[in-house]
A and B are shown apart, each in its own frame.
Chain A
């Protein structure tokens, strides 16, 4: 939510009264409309392009289930991040809902992210790991830490490269004032939207809006259109927080396969990722 300017004394009591009403209405208001942000982001070296550079991360847990989930060990309960429809439910067609429920039951083994595949759009945005926005005048890319996925945002003037079947899709973007507006096609139907088996087909079209609402917050919205799976388009909204620790950077995230063929993420700060080659112990051919 935007922080209003401090009102004059005469307005203050009225504002307080209104605040009570606002609190109860907050959820409804968020659902009903996108509040235009009054925050003006800094600019790149050209003095024009909004500067979204930095390392960002969603701190909530929509990666578990974008429709909300109960508390689990180590994870607090969370509401749905679906803001349209207002009930917070993805408007699946009946047969698609059945497949989603099947996915849910098999989630411990079927989630494509278990195989260290790239997460797709919008899932990559709200993973429990950071992303970095790289920018210079005329250039924009997002690097996601998980599985070192990246998307190079191409200007909207260039037609989509949509005769493909990709994990991270094909992205076009433009600036709508200070809002980064992107649309994404060519996503593969092997992707899930979260760990709960929510999904889309290969015909999905994702429309994203990135709005910097404070110096350290980006509001992220994605509308998904996919008439194979959904009865109508729907929209999710979540917030990216700036990672401000000194020296923070995206680190290498790579999966290693164990003896049973199961893949694991190993941190490059974990000594197990280091393989010391002791040549003298190798058998000579």
Chain B
């Protein structure tokens, strides 16, 4: 009886489930592992057609590929946006300082080919996860010390320690430096130390070296992670940018593949109608 009583006390002390029953690791934290794919929400801009403010794949009635669960077979190459209102997550709103607004407009209208993604560079945070819905999955592997995100897209890797340790002082990276911690059942990641080169999307939205991101991963049911990111950058934005979307579990019979981005990226001409960026290389 006594042992039973102790057990129940231990169970009571474990982080309480926020919502439905979710799988857990032996350490009591939600088990985020598996293969996931973004299903809806967030920025959807895909092509040059979206650059003049008409968001090409913005939620619109009658478009899209079902409920986003079609997985990769349905999602890949389909190019359709999600159906209206799925997930109920509004697209992010960017409020720039006047100088940054002019810079954003210049990038959007004239310098699209400078987008680092067109040059095979790492997408940064949160853009690594913020790829068009249904295109590229992310494999999560987790233990007591790390949550690792292995993105199919340009084999982008983030190995995030869960000890909330301090950011380094002399380190500037495309993906910045990530330090995580558990707040109850939510995995919270603080990301700084960006190298000031990343764009947030293909439409010229950008950040500089002062970007700071707080990400929140919440497993709301065994097959759904709600992802939230708050981006602050005092030299670019007048108020924080909020992103929110869901990751859905990819069926077990599918696996992560390889996405290599090499020189001679053939998508470059999609970024500009001038010269495909051939004459003016980005950096």
Contact = CB atoms under 8 A, between A and B. Distances in A.
Interface of A: 44-45, 53, 115, 117-118, 132, 134-136, 139, 141, 143, 147-150, 152, 154, 158, 161, 164, 166-168, 249-252, 254, 256-257, 261, 263, 268-269, 271, 273-277, 279-280, 282-285
Interface of B: 25-26, 33, 97, 99-100, 102-103, 105-106, 109-110, 119, 121-122, 139, 141-144, 146, 148, 150, 155-157, 159, 161, 170-175, 193, 195-197, 208-209, 235-236, 255-258, 260, 262-263, 281, 283
A148 B171 contact: no
Contacts of B171: 251, 268-269
A161 B197 contact: no
Contacts of B33: 136, 139
Given A117-B262, A280-B99, A149 B256 contact: no
B195 A115 contact: no
Contact of A285 (B102, B148, B173, B283): B102
Given A269-B171, A275-B209, A276-B196, 8 more contacts: A134-B143, A136-B143, A152-B255, A164-B258, A271-B172, A274-B209, A276-B208, A277-B196
Nearest to B35: A152
A275 B197 contact: yes
Contacts, number: 130
Contacts of A249: 159, 161
A276 B209 contact: yes
Given A166-B260, A279-B99, A254 B121 contact: yes
Contact of B148 (A143, A269, A280): A143
A136 B119 CA distance: 34
A273 B141 CA distance: 29
A252 B26 contact: no
B157 A282 contact: no
A161 B254 CA distance: 10
Contacts of A284: 102, 106
B100 A269 contact: no
B173 A141 contact: no
B141 A285 contact: no
Contacts of B144: 45
A118 to B, nearest CB: 7
Contacts of A263: 263
A280 B235 CA distance: 10
Nearest to A253: B173
Contacts of B110: 285
A283 to B, nearest CB: 8
A186 to B, nearest CB: 9
Given A254-B174, A257-B119, A150 B155 contact: yes
Contacts of A261: 281
A106 to B, nearest CB: 18
Contact of B209 (A135, A164, A268, A277): A277
Contacts of A44: 143
Nearest to A139: B141
Secondary structure at chain B's binding surface: helix, strand, loop or mixed?
Answer: loop
Contacts of B150: 141, 143, 150, 152
Contact of A148 (B109, B122, B235, B262): B122
B209 A148 contact: no
Nearest to A44: B143
Contacts of B26: 45
Contacts of A166: 257-258, 260
Given A115-B263, A148-B157, A279 B122 contact: no
Contacts of A277: 103, 196, 208-209, 235
B235 A279 contact: yes
A250 B209 contact: no
A277 B116 CA distance: 15
B25 A279 contact: no
A204 B142 CA distance: 32
Contacts of A147: 155
A250 B177 CA distance: 11
9 contacts: A118-B155, A148-B155, A161-B255, A168-B155, A263-B263, A274-B172, A275-B283, A277-B208, A279-B236
A4 to B, nearest CB: 33
A261 B119 CA distance: 12
A182 B142 CA distance: 21
A282 B281 contact: no
A282 B139 contact: no
A274 B196 contact: yes
A148 B150 CA distance: 10
Nearest to A45: B26
A218 B258 CA distance: 26
Contacts of A161: 255, 257
Nearest to B108: A285
A198 to B, nearest CB: 22
Nearest to A280: B99
Given A164-B258, A282-B102, A150 B196 contact: no
Given A141-B150, A143-B157, A261-B281, A45 B260 contact: no
Contacts of B235: 277, 279
A167 B209 contact: no
Contacts of B141: 134-136, 139, 141
